[in-house]
Chain A
Amino acid sequence: MIKGQVLTGGRGKAGAVRKVSSTQEAKSTARQILAISVKDFPVKQLLVTEMLEIQAEYYAAITVDREAKSVVLIISAAGGIDIEEVAIRESEKIRRFEIPYVQESDFPETLTQWLSNSFPDQALCAQAVQIVQSMYRLFRDKDCSLVEINPLAHTAQGRLVAADAKIVFDDNGIEKHPDIVKLSNPEEYTADELEARAAGLSFVSLSGEIGCMVNGAGLAMATMDGIKLAGSSPANFLDVGGSSNPQKVLDAFRILLRNKQLKVILINIFGGITRCDDIAQGILWARDKLGITVPIIIRLIGTNEEQGRNMLNEAGLIVTRYMTDAINEAVNCTRKGSKS
């Protein structure tokens, strides 16, 4: 088997997982798979592995169910590439168990009970119990948010084999695990997103024309929604975060200005931990150093608002206290831009 290695699902359907029976065929197939993109992820690595004679495909996953506030085990006797459709159309084929937050010493026994209905015989069930226990240990020890084996293949030789797997690590736990950090693949992110991460900013590229710089994720999303409502569209999501640092504002400007579609920059700051004078300082630095040609619309309110506003007013920049006014002004700028 030749399997394209990409950090997304749907590989089989995209033709990135193929069977070959000779070296010759392997070479040409490998070349073909390396030319494929799966959901915008180009295949750059391949896994060549033994071909399994699969009798049945199971599904096993451990994840956190945020509604139940619990770690859950999900098991299905109908695994394979259509598991998501099974989950919707034949949900009775999927079994879900909450793993108690204090792990009991009789976990294997509990697992045996849970799994016995999904596996046809005891020997297979015993193998599955072993596998799920290992999955759970990995899940706990490495702060995962998902450990999934699909398919969990039952081979003609009677073995259970993890034929494919997906593991998602919790961003908040990653620092505890330097071995996992090493595995991270920068190709998951755009260049702008990587630069933003390095600068401690939370950034997502979008396709619109108004560059946004906001403090707080909720307010940033509300700003994007407001732009859409006023008839334009945001070029990005950018949260400068809770801390107060003019350098971060400068870094944020650098990232925004790389976007050539940009017609205007909208800054929306409601100071809490963030101080308005620090933001103002960052804006002034950016104006002096970066040669900005697009208009900047500034909404500044909250902690040290007066100092911030005075600094900007003295430099000839206009500041409003109202979010809707700032959004409307920014949208007007894009219209003026398109007329000229």
Chain B
Amino acid sequence: MSILIDKKTRVIVQGITGRDGSFHAEAMMKYGTQVVGGVTPGKGGRRVGTLPVFNTVREAVMETGAQCSILFVPAKFAPNAIREAADGGISLIVCITEGIPILEMVDLYHELKRKKVCLIGPNCPGIISPGKSKVGIMPGYIHKAGGIGVISRSGTLTYEVVFALSEKNLGQSTCVGIGGDPIVGTGYIDLLEMFENDEQTEAIVLIGEIGGVEEEKAASFIKKSVHKKVVAFISGSTAPPGKRMGHAGAIISGGKGGAEAKIKALRQAGVIVVDRPDLIPDAL
């Protein structure tokens, strides 16, 4: 198995006629993902490469049987594009777009929970189940199929960790970038639970960073409900408080969200926390 996506997952690309959308539609197909079409309002009937373009998600779902959608839609239009996907019959939405206002995400978060639609992101690199399917923008070739589940708030730092794993012949079941924003559709806990229940996954790597208390909450969940081995790395130990380090999420404020507290909470939950990404393979 693997989580969220596999060989059978049928994917549409929202914003397929844009520069990033068309580039990554092709890259995903090359990787082996079943990309079955795309959506750009007003451009229905065209083709991008071999892929049909539809005006609406509903139309695309009816014609192609897609269950999953990946969004390369500009931030201004992304919230409504996500809503359209949820209402159009998509059960897994991956939003690559960054820059969505937090209030939009507050509304969307509750709306999607009610509709029982899974959103990964926004502001994330996506999902890959190596050797099966890639619904994201990560370089596919650094991955290897295997038994390690990877969950991360970061993009390139995830690549770093995956590269270190693959170099040591530790393949991955699924890697999920949950996104760097303060509010994301799917958090650590949902994914820890999925990995715990996934047969292919033997151990889990959790990559966190400063800001918020999601890592602390993940730690208490691990203590209670995760029996598989978990290894973690937290970035931002040296970041000064009150300064925004790029991501909307990576900021230490009001004494909360520092790396030290996260590392302590994870260690207390029995997680091995390492100092450098390249030390993760040995800890596994």
Contacts and interface: CB of A to CB of B under 8 A. Distances in A.
A150 to B, nearest CB: 15
Contact of B278 (A69, A233, A322): A322
A218 B250 contact: yes
Interface stretch (B35-43, B82-90, B149-157, B196-204): B149-157
Q: Most B CB atoms within 10 A — which of A171, A173, A270? A: A270
B109 interface: yes
Interface string B231-248: 001011111100111111
A314 interface: no
Interface in A24-61: none
B125 interface: yes
A94 to B, nearest CB: 14
Contact of A217 (B159, B212, B245, B278): B245
Q: Most B CB atoms within 10 A — which of A140, A206, A215, A272? A: A272
A218 B239 contact: no
A192 B213 CA distance: 31
A101 B156 contact: no
B21 interface: no
A69 B154 CA distance: 20
Interface stretch (B53-61, B98-106, B218-226): B98-106
B12 interface: no
A7 interface: no
B246 A273 contact: no
Chain B interface residue number, banded? 35 or more
A64 B156 contact: no
Interface stretch (A114-122, A234-242, A288-296, A330-338): A234-242
A222 B245 contact: no
Contact of A302 (B106, B159, B250): B159
Nearest to A143: B101
B281 to A, nearest CB: 13
A146 to B, nearest CB: 11
Majority DSSP secondary structure for residues of B touching A: loop
A170 B103 CA distance: 9
Given A216-B154, A270-B163, A322-B278, A221 B210 contact: yes
A273 B276 CA distance: 24
B18 interface: no
B209 A218 contact: yes
B20 to A, nearest CB: 7
Interface residues of A, number: 50
Interface in A113-164: 140, 143, 145
B75 A172 contact: yes
Interface in B162-201: 163, 180, 182-183
A69 B139 contact: no
A215 B156 contact: yes
B207 A218 contact: yes
Nearest to B101: A173
A237 B102 CA distance: 24
A93 interface: no
B160 A71 contact: no
Contacts of A69: 105-106, 109-110, 183
Given A222-B157, A302-B139, A302-B159, A171 B248 contact: yes
A270 B125 CA distance: 13
B139 A221 contact: no
A214 B157 CA distance: 10
A271 B140 CA distance: 11
B209 A270 contact: no
B245 A273 contact: no
B21 to A, nearest CB: 12
16 contacts: A64-B103, A66-B183, A67-B213, A172-B102, A172-B248, A204-B245, A215-B156, A216-B154, A218-B153, A219-B156, A219-B159, A221-B250, A225-B237, A229-B276, A273-B20, A302-B139
Interface of B: 20, 75-76, 98-103, 105-107, 109-111, 125, 137-139, 142, 152-160, 163, 180, 182-183, 207, 209-210, 212-213, 217, 233, 235-240, 243-248, 250, 275-278
8 A-B pairs with the lowest CB-CB distances in the bound complex, closest first: A218-B154, A217-B246, A216-B156, A218-B157, A173-B101, A222-B235, A219-B156, A221-B235
Given A70-B106, A216-B156, A218-B247, 8 more contacts: A64-B103, A67-B213, A67-B217, A101-B107, A218-B155, A218-B207, A218-B250, A272-B159
